Structure 1
């Protein structure tokens, strides 16, 4: 099945009626798309009650891609509120239990930082993460180009496959070591993840200050030709993999949801397991 959605559900104003409360948005989002990426789990390990609430608000068949906590991927440079790595991973896994019980956890996304390059220590970190996560499906997204250099590309993919990771295919500007090439490999028979970050090369290399870098980097609107290219790629991925997850991350200009809907239309998909759409006041 092809699951198409966006990253996060809070910032897509065109999906929601005026005055909608933030705690009502996910239910409405679930009337448009069958999957979403949870970003809040990157900044803090979420209480299990949050995941229970989100599971309750979404329709049967809805799937969550949940980002790994930043302490698990080496982003956090300050204090981590856990006494040990064991405690951190255990708390994170416990938080996911409501999604697992509901059958709504697609995978956990380990997005490693731009300085996480290919070396023996980092290979061991990857192996450790997978071992600690047990049977929870885990995707890996690299943000350092070295993993896909000619000398390492096949070794990287073979290692991920052997460890049981899901490969994350990225569409993003090609701007040096801090970006990765388009690598159309699935490696996992059940899942593949595609994240479309946009192609704003200038914003990628000059993202502004630390307060607004997201707004700059992910400001991009895919045009029809680019989406048609991705339509053909997605159809090829579907032949190789049971479930294909497509997440648009070009959120900052409000383009992600529209691009995702356009892609659904291009592929001729009609999702039948969404939440009922809210009727306008004068709909009959």
Structure 2
């Protein structure tokens, strides 16, 4: 199956009726999409009670892609609020208990920063991360092009496959070393992740030039031709993996929901286990 979803559920206004409360948004979101990427976990290890609520707000077959806490991928500025990396990983894994118990954890996404280049020290750290995560499915996304340079391309894919990493395939602005090309190759027979970040080169390179970088970094609406080209890629990946999880992250202008729904239509997919849509009697 190919599952389509978005990053988060709070900012996709086109999905929701007017004046809807934030507490009701996830339920409504789950009437359109069967998966979501949870990015709150990147900023703080979430208490189990949050996961328990999100479980109740979604149908039984709904799945979460949980982004690894920032201290686990080297994004943390300053000291991490844990005594050690072991303690940090243990706390993060413990927080996932409700999702694992209910079968709603699709995977944990490790997205590494642009300075995380291809060298032995970083390969060793990736291996350590995977060992710490145990049997939990983990996806790996790079932001440094050296991993897919001519020198390391085959070794990177082979390493990911051998270590059991799910490949996070990306469509993002091509801006040199601080980005990666779309590599249409699965490394896990059960799962592949695809993330759409948009193609706004200026916003990707210079987000700090704006007061709110989130308003420009992912500001992009994919056109029909671009989506059709990616439909071909998704079909190829689906031949290599049992399930493909597709997340649209191009939401600086509110375009992720539009593109996500367009991709569902292009793929001619019908999801049978969504939340029931609530009728608006006054529409």
TM superposition score normalised by structure 1: 0.98
- Give SS of 1:244's match: strand
Q: Quick one: distance in 1 between partners of 2:93 and 2:150?
A: 35
Contact conserved, 1:64 with 1:106, CA < 8 A, in 2? Answer: yes
The aligned residue for residue 203 of structure 1 is 203
**Cα deviations across residues 192-238 of structure 1 (Å, max 9, x unaligned)?**
00000011112212223475222111000000000110111111111
Q: Quick one: distance in 2 between partners of 1:196 and 1:223?
A: 13
In structure 1, the gaps of 5 or more residues are none
1:267 aligns with 2:267: yes
1:181 is displaced (CA, Å) by 0.7
Contact conserved, 1:208 with 1:216, CA < 8 A, in 2? Answer: no
- Give SS of 1:78's match: coil
Number of paired residues? 283
1:77 is displaced (CA, Å) by 2.1
Q: How does 1:130-145 map to 2 (within 5 A)?
A: 130-145=130-145
1:253 aligns with 2:253: yes
1:189 is displaced (CA, Å) by 0.2
Provide the aligned C-alpha RMSD in A. 1.0
In structure 2, the gaps of 5 or more residues are none
Q: How does 1:48-127 map to 2 (within 5 A)?
A: 48-127=48-127
Contact conserved, 1:218 with 1:251, CA < 8 A, in 2? Answer: yes
Q: Quick one: distance in 2 between partners of 1:154 and 1:177?
A: 18
Q: Quick one: distance in 1 between partners of 2:211 and 2:282?
A: 42
Q: Quick one: distance in 1 between partners of 2:35 and 2:214?
A: 22
The aligned residue for residue 28 of structure 2 is 28
Q: Quick one: distance in 1 between partners of 2:73 and 2:201?
A: 25
